[in-house]
Amino acid sequence: MDRRIPVLIGKNIVRAMLLVFAVSIVTFWLMKASPMDPLQTNVGQAALGSMSREQIEKLEEYWGVNTPPAEQYLSWAKDFVRGDMGTSLLYRQPVAKVIGAKLANSLFLMIFAWLVSGLLGFVLGVIAGMNRGKWIDKLIKGYCLVISSTPAFWLALLLLMIFGVGLRWFPIGLSVPIGVEAGGVTFLDRVYHAVLPALTLSITGVSNIALHTREKMIDICGSDYMLFARMRGETGWRLFKNYGFRNVLLPAITLHFAAISEIFGGSVLVEQVFSYPGLGQAAVAAGLGSDMPLLMAVTIVSALFVFGGNMIANILYGVVDPRIRRGGASK
């Protein structure tokens, strides 16, 4: 059998492990370097003042204040390697369970935003690139430039004010209706609550993809093969389908999978604005609340997501581009 595929898989596993190791060290070190006192932030100055010595010692032990950092990291790593991500100090639940719940919320949001921004960005970019310099190009380009210089959280606030507070079309936050039993929450309720945050993420994601695709499309339109195709009488849809589309699709794929990281980053802020209990919000809570096990896990999961996105782009490139697929095989 072809030995290239097992080798490729092995290489990527090693890479992923190195990445997790590096990310965990950096996260841990940053957390330790932060000037935050876990007791003060989580218990509060006033409460601490009224507590007895023993109570405070118990709390210090719970938050691991007096354990040496190296020992702390090693004990975490030992468990992590065995598949135990520990217990969240804030939620008092296994980290895996917390992450699972948060991820389920976020994933819907992110997948929606990722698909919409990818598709819409691609289409807008192609239209703009094919009609370079015309009014439609100027319109799309202008829109993208305005959007890409707009902070995601600001746009989130804007949408919240207009559609949540002003028009009351959508809820102002959270992922489920208030005052309804967990069992009574329908799928539609969840979708309804996810619309605004997902929309914010999509709108901000579109501009980057559209601008890149537009640039690529302009290159293709000026290429020799496009010129020759026109000289051979190809026009309109056929010209686009056989010459433009195929060639712009490749960079678009890479771009789209690389955009996973941006959607991930954007979701942290957007979830915060909409009080949406997703992974992004969990990351903020864990960071501010010195919840070391949770933060480590959230960071690692995010890193793996981005890694996975880039890896899929690499693999797809090999599948879609004959120059890599066949060129590599013949060597």
Partner 1 sequence: MSEKKKTEQTPILKIEHMNITFTQYDRGMRQTELPVIRNLDVEVHAGEMVAVVGSSGSGKSLLAHGVMGVLPYNASMGGRILYCGEELTKQRIERLRGNEIVLVPQSIAYLNPLMKIGSQICKGSKDEKVKRKLRDIFARYSLKPEVEELYPFELSGGMNRRILISTALIEEPKLVIADEPTPGLDLKMAKRAMEHFRELADMGAGVLVITHDLELALETADRIAVFYAGTTLEEATVSDFEREETLRHPYSKALWRAMPKNGFGFVSGEQPYVKDLPGGCPFAPRCGRCTEECRKGEIPSREIRGGRVRCLHLEESFAE
How far apart CA 133 and CA 70 sit, in angstroms, is: 59
189 near partner 1 (CB under 8 A)? no
232 near partner 1 (CB under 8 A)? yes
List 62, 228, 237, 315, residue binding partner 1 (CB under 8 A): 228
How far apart CA 125 and CA 220 sit, in angstroms, is: 13
230 near partner 1 (CB under 8 A)? yes
215 near partner 1 (CB under 8 A)? no
321 near partner 1 (CB under 8 A)? yes
Q: Name which of residues 42 to 61 contact partner 1 (CB under 8 A).
A: none
List 247, 254, 310, 314, residue binding partner 1 (CB under 8 A): 247
Which of left, alpha, beta for 44 (phi over 0: left; psi -120 to 50: alpha)?
Answer: left
307 near partner 1 (CB under 8 A)? no
219 near partner 1 (CB under 8 A)? no
Least distance from partner 1 to the Cβ atom of residue 310, Å: 22
List 68, 179, 233, 236, residue binding partner 1 (CB under 8 A): 233
Residues 172 and 162 sit within 8 Å (Cβ to Cβ)? no
> Which of 85, 239 has the CB closer to partner 1?
239
How far apart CA 146 and CA 140 sit, in angstroms, is: 10
Least distance from partner 1 to the Cβ atom of residue 236, Å: 11
236 near partner 1 (CB under 8 A)? no
Residues 314 and 250 sit within 8 Å (Cβ to Cβ)? no
Q: Which residue has the tokens 């026009």?
A: 235
How far apart CA 171 and CA 253 sit, in angstroms, is: 34
Least distance from partner 1 to the Cβ atom of residue 320, Å: 9
Question: Stretches 19-27, 120-128, 199-207, 315-323: which one binds partner 1 (CB under 8 A)?
Answer: 315-323
243 near partner 1 (CB under 8 A)? yes
How far apart CA 302 and CA 304 sit, in angstroms, is: 5
List 71, 327, 328, 329, residue binding partner 1 (CB under 8 A): 327
> Which of 207, 213 has the CB closer to partner 1?
213
319 near partner 1 (CB under 8 A)? no
Question: Stretches 50-58, 60-68, 90-98, 237-245: which one binds partner 1 (CB under 8 A)?
Answer: 237-245
Q: Under DSSP, is residue 289 helix (H, G, I), strand (E, B) or coil?
A: coil
> Which of 4, 246 has the CB closer to partner 1?
246
68 near partner 1 (CB under 8 A)? no
326 near partner 1 (CB under 8 A)? yes
User: Dihedrals φ, ψ of 165, to 5°?
Assistant: -85, -50
How far apart CA 234 and CA 252 sit, in angstroms, is: 24
Size of residue set near partner 1 by CB under 8 A: 22
DSSP string, 45-83: HHHHHTS-HHHHHHHHHHHTSSS-HHHHHHHHHHHHHTT
168 near partner 1 (CB under 8 A)? no
DSSP string, 176-225: S-TT--GGG--HHHHHHHHHHHHHHHHHHHHHHHHHHHHHHHHHHHTSHH
Q: Which residue has the tokens 């990310």?
A: 23
234 near partner 1 (CB under 8 A)? yes
Residue 258 burial (CB count, 10 A): 16
Residues 197 and 274 sit within 8 Å (Cβ to Cβ)? yes
List 111, 225, 237, 329, residue binding partner 1 (CB under 8 A): 225
254 near partner 1 (CB under 8 A)? no
Site residues, partner 1 (CB under 8 A): 224-225, 227-235, 238, 242-243, 246-247, 250, 321-323, 326-327
